[in-house]
Amino acid sequence: MIRAARESDLPAIRQLLVETWHDTYDGIYGVARVTEISDDWHSLKALKLRLAKRDAVFLVAEQESRIAGMTFATHMPSGEARMHQLYVLPDFHGRGLGSRLLAAVVNRLGKLNTLSLEVEEANTSARRFYERQGFVQRGSTANCGAADSGIPALVYVKSFA
């Protein structure tokens, strides 16, 4: 079941993000850097701020009595949206949960011209996933996720117009 995230979900969402980030990025950035990022970007305080955003969609996917996936996106009046997060616990990969979360967030965002996102270049499985979903690489950034992160990423865009 995919539904709107609630404040009571935040500890489980944080745990999901910590686990998926370590699984995905320890080999790229190292355990210490991934822990540092997670402690900042995935803190309960940061998640609570996302939950309170008015121009955003924050969803969770429940499977086997737990939160197995999540997504967070923001929408602008221009019809452009940015997906900031879409993560699925490693144990649930390959079951279509990411595709269902993506479809749900697009549906909840409403009328869209484009949806953009950033993907670490070395994260080939995520890049393949988004390319299968119709996203096209349209550039890159030196600061994924935050203005001064120093984390390079590729920018992917899907057009709906």
Q: Which domain holds residue 18?
A: 2-159
| Domain CATH for 53 | 3.40.630.30
DSSP-assigned letter for residue 4: E
Give the three-class secondary structure for 143: coil
pLDDT score for 26: 93
State the average pLDDT over residues 28-41.
Answer: 91
Q: What is the pTM of this model?
A: 0.92
Rg (CA), the chain: 15
Three-class SS string for 18-57? HHHHHHHHHHHHCHHHHHHHHHHHCCHHHHHHHHHCCCEE
pLDDT mean across residues, the chain: 92
Q: How many domains would you assign to the chain?
A: 1
pLDDT single digits (tens) 41-59: 999 999 999 999 989 999 9
Q: What is the C-alpha separation between 106 and 97, in angstroms, rounded?
A: 14
pLDDT over 90 at 150, yes or no: no
pLDDT over 80 at 146, yes or no: no
82, β-bridge pairs: 74, 116
